[in-house]
Amino acid sequence: MLSDENVLDNMDTAEEETIGEIENDAEFAAEEPSIADSALWYVVHTYSGYENKVKANIEKVVESRGLQDYIVDVAVPLEEQIEIKDGKKKATLRKVFPGYVLIKMVITDESWYVVRNTRGVTGFVGPGSKPIPLSDEEIRKMGVEVYAPVVDFEVGDSIRVISGPLENFIGIVQEINLEKKKIRARVSMFGRETPVELDLEQIQKLL
């Protein structure tokens, strides 16, 4: 017959084992990749003027059906346009790709059905309306996701200008702006150092 002390010891051991199992399960769950991680960008064609309605309707269905892991993002790319009216500048936003909506999603029967049957959508862009994901280069060009450029130089490094009116001039990096993809540098011109602003594509680090 077990004593009260043995019973308590057994209960403590069982509790520790249970806690250990829960912690292990939590670690496993944290390490397990999310379905959303495999989502890719696709393009759907819409009736003209329906872009924002399509975006709103898809987001509403995603919320109601709990499809956030399968339809991750819906975008209608916009750009600012400056208009001058009555001598005054006015900034307006216009659609970059009228008649198209970009969707980051994991293609399944259900996610495809939700998008394809949204009012205003005429089909996925691809051969035979088969969804074809955008390449990284296409995503960059469309400005859907902003990628921070990778540079192999830092402030104080010497660079050579490889294109533009200052081609072949040598400079010293003073400031790096990855968001604007530009740098400020001091370039030696005609015996004097001149501050200039250059695009990242215009320069090359001197080895």
Question: Would you state the pLDDT for residue 22?
Answer: 46
Domains and CATH numbers, the chain: 37-142 (3.30.70.940), 158-205 (2.30.30.30)
| Closest to 106 measured CA to CA, from 31, 33, 26 | 33
Strand partners, 101: 44
- What is the number of other CB atoms lying within 10 angstroms of the CB of residue 166? 19
How far is it, in rounded angstroms, from Cα 72 to Cα 69? 6
Helix/strand number for the chain, H first, E second: 4, 11
Strand partners, 96: none
DSSP 145: S
Amino acid at 65: R
Amino acid at 41: W
pLDDT band of residue 182 (cuts 50, 70, 90) is confident
How far from 57 is each of 53, 105, 194, 199, CA to CA, in Å?
A: 6, 15, 54, 40
* 140: Cα separation from own chain's centroid: 9
How far from 152 is each of 136, 200, 203, CA to CA, in Å?
A: 21, 11, 11
Give per-residue pLDDT as tens, 162-181: 887 888 899 999 998 876 77
Give the orientation angle of helix 109-116 with respect to helix 51-65, to 10 degrees.
Answer: 140
- Burial of 142: CB neighbours in 10 Å, binned 0-12, 13-18, 19+: middle
Please state the rounded mean pLDDT for residues 91-115: 88
pTM: 0.54
Please check the confidence at residue 32 and state whether its pLDDT lies above 70: no
